[in-house]
Amino acid sequence: MNGLSRRRLIGAGLAATGTALVTGGSAGPHRRPATVPAASTDPVAAPATSPPPAPSPTATALPAQERPVFTLSEYRRLVPGPAFPGNAVALTIDDGPHPTWTPKVLRLLERYHVPALFCLIGNQVLGHETVARDIVAAGHQVANHTWSHPGKIAHLAQDRVQQEIDRAQNKIYDATGKLPAIFRSPGGAVSPAVFAAAAQARMLPINWTNDPRDWTRPGTRSITDRLLAARPGQILLCHDGGGDRAQTCAALETVIPALQSRGYQFVVLS
């Protein structure tokens, strides 16, 4: 793919990593059914044969959070770095990679020079490794969205959650050479076990601020209107997997240039 260069895309956002975490009350996450088609439906098994590198022995383990990140300002309080621009928004894309819809989204982002965070499902990377590599080659960020997108992840024991996270982490790293530092739980569902497993994998859990519910296919107009209600500092949620995403692509064709015309700047998180 003739992707935008990594330096150009990442230059459109602000890069930062860190380990300071905040605690606080829980916010009720939006939950959705696990409708994502699986490239592999076998139970969570042994990690991939090429595991990601272990953290440095001197690295500080992340403490478990008590709530995910919902906004850019919350992210910056946890991850030290320059302040995000006052007109910044972050676009996140869940449930891929998909051989049809992900390339369409990538071409759209390239056209408007927009960086994004792609939250990848491990068993969707399986069989679609080239698409996953295209995401990284175009300069976008990747996050861990579990191995099989379990809809009831908040009810699973920590060891099962850990398997979901670790197997996805291994596959994403094996396919792309990138080790995600961000975790998004399926449906935004959280529990002490989910937070503990994410912390064990040294990832920061994030949710979102603006959810157009595009996965329900409510119509292009509905998705467009909800995304156009975005405000600076928000994290926007869309999908490139889990079903027909023609409505999402059509909505983004309108939304991205419209938000840019307002002076909004699309940024990446880290």
**How far apart, in Å, are the Cα atoms of 153 and each of 96, 163, 185, 239, 263?**
18, 11, 8, 19, 38
- Within a domain: residue 48? no
φ, ψ dihedrals at 205, nearest 5°: -75, 130
- Within a domain: residue 56? no
- Within a domain: residue 238? yes
Which residue, 54, 176, 200, 182, is CA-closest to 126? 176
Model pTM score: 0.82
Among residues 128, 140, 149, 239, the one annotated as catalytic is 239
Residue 62 has pLDDT above 80, yes or no: no
- Within a domain: residue 159? yes
Quote the CA–CA distance of 125 and 128 in Å, as a whole number.
Answer: 5
Residue 140 catalytic? no
**Residue written as tokens 């409708």?**
35
Q: Model confidence over 219-255: pLDDT tens digits?
A: 999 999 999 999 999 999 999 999 999 999 999 999 9
Number of CB atoms found within 10 A of residue 110's CB: 17
Q: Dig out the tokens for 33 from the structure.
A: 């059914």
Among residues 94, 211, 214, 240, the one annotated as catalytic is 94
- Within a domain: residue 46? no
Q: Dig out the tokens for 81 from the structure.
A: 């770095």
**How do the residues of the chain divide into helix, strand and coil, expressed in percent and rounded to 5?**
35, 10, 50
Q: What is the predicted pLDDT for the residue at 48?
A: 43
- Within a domain: residue 260? yes
- 169: amino acid identity, one letter: Q
Contact 264, 89 (CB under 8 A): yes
Contact 266, 115 (CB under 8 A): yes
Residue 20 has pLDDT above 50, yes or no: no
Cis peptide before 97 (omega within 30 of 0): yes
Would you put residue 261 in left (φ > 0), alpha (ψ -120 to 50) or beta? alpha
Number of CB atoms found within 10 A of residue 178's CB: 18
Quote the CA–CA distance of 13 and 181 in Å, as a whole number.
Answer: 16
CATH code, domain with 188: 3.20.20.370
Q: Model confidence over 66-118: pLDDT tens digits?
A: 999 999 999 999 999 999 999 999 999 999 999 999 999 999 999 999 999 99
Q: What is the predicted pLDDT for the residue at 132?
A: 98
**How far apart, in Å, are the Cα atoms of 170 and each of 54, 78, 141, 165?**
11, 25, 16, 9
- Within a domain: residue 58? no
- Within a domain: residue 49? no
φ, ψ dihedrals at 61, nearest 5°: -65, 145
Helix (H, G, I), strand (E, B) or coil at 238: strand
Query: Which domain, by its residues, includes 237?
Result: 6-13+63-266
Residue 239 catalytic? yes
Q: What is the predicted pLDDT for the residue at 64?
A: 85
| Domains held by the chain: number | 1
Number of CB atoms found within 10 A of residue 194's CB: 26
Q: What is the predicted pLDDT for the residue at 60?
A: 52
